[in-house]
Amino acid sequence: LDEQGLAQLMQRSSAITTEFENVPAAALVTLGSQRPVAPSADAVAICQDRVLEKAHFRLSGVPCAPHAVITAPAELQAVPDELLPGILKTARMGYDGKGQVRVSTRAELQAAWDGLEQAPCVLEALLPLEREISVVLARSSQGEVVSFPVQENLHRQGILAVTQVPAPHVPQALQQQALEAARALAQSMNYVGVLCVEFFVLQDGRLVANEMAPRPHNSGHYTVDACDVSQFDLQVRTLAGLPLVQPTLLAPAVMLNLLGDVWFDAAGAARTPPWADVLSVPGVHLHLYGKLSARKGRKMGHLTVTAGTPEQARERALQACTMLGLPAF
- Burial pattern 25-59, b for ≥16 Cβ within 10 A else e, equals bebbbbbbeeebbbbbbbbbbbbbbbbebbebbee
Residues in the chain: 329
Identity at 245, one-letter amino acid code? V
Q: What is the dihedral of CA 310, 316, 317, 320, to 10 degrees?
A: 180
Is residue 133 near ligand ADP by the rule CB under 6 A?
A: no
Number of other CB atoms surrounding residue 178 within 10 Å: 25
Binder to ligand ADP among 52, 71, 95, 279 (CB under 6 A)?
A: 95
Interface pattern 211-250 for ligand ADP (x via CB under 6 A): x---------------------------------------
In angstroms, give the least distance from the CB of 230 to ligand ADP. Answer: 21
Binder to ligand ADP among 132, 152, 225, 233 (CB under 6 A)?
A: 132
Binder to ligand ADP among 44, 127, 146, 182 (CB under 6 A)?
A: 127
Identity at 143, one-letter amino acid code? G
User: 198 vs 233, which CB is nearer to ligand ADP?
Assistant: 198
CA–CA gap between residue 150 and residue 136 (Å, rounded): 8
Binder to ligand ADP among 94, 193, 220, 283 (CB under 6 A)?
A: 94
Is residue 42 near ligand ADP by the rule CB under 6 A?
A: no
Residue 138 sits at φ, ψ, to 5 deg, of: -130, 135
Is residue 21 near ligand ADP by the rule CB under 6 A?
A: no
The DSSP bridge pattern shows strands 193-202 and 145-147 to be: unpaired
Is residue 65 near ligand ADP by the rule CB under 6 A?
A: yes
In angstroms, give the least distance from the CB of 245 to ligand ADP. Answer: 29
For residue 21, which of 2, 52, 43 has the smallest C-alpha distance?
Answer: 43
List the beta bridge partners of residue 209. 64, 199
| Count of H-run helices and E-run strands, the chain | 11, 13
Is residue 202 near ligand ADP by the rule CB under 6 A?
A: no
Is residue 126 near ligand ADP by the rule CB under 6 A?
A: yes
Binder to ligand ADP among 38, 46, 76, 87 (CB under 6 A)?
A: 87
User: 176 vs 203, which CB is nearer to ligand ADP?
Assistant: 203
In angstroms, give the least distance from the CB of 99 to ligand ADP. Answer: 7
Is residue 155 near ligand ADP by the rule CB under 6 A?
A: yes
- Burial pattern 70-94, b for ≥16 Cβ within 10 A else e, equals beeeeebeebeeebbebbbbbbbeb
Is residue 158 near ligand ADP by the rule CB under 6 A?
A: yes
Measured CA distances, 179 to 61, 97, 133, 141, 248 (Å):
14, 25, 11, 19, 15
Is residue 124 near ligand ADP by the rule CB under 6 A?
A: yes
Q: Which stretch binds ligand ADP (CB under 6 A): 126-134, 140-148, 228-236, 295-303?
A: 126-134
User: 134 vs 238, which CB is nearer to ligand ADP?
Assistant: 134
In angstroms, give the least distance from the CB of 251 to ligand ADP. Answer: 26
Is residue 96 near ligand ADP by the rule CB under 6 A?
A: yes
Is residue 75 near ligand ADP by the rule CB under 6 A?
A: no
Q: Is the dihedral of CA 301, 299, 57, 237 positive or negative?
A: negative
Which residues are at the interface with ligand ADP (CB under 6 A)? 65, 87, 89, 94-97, 124, 126-127, 129, 132, 155, 158, 198, 210-211
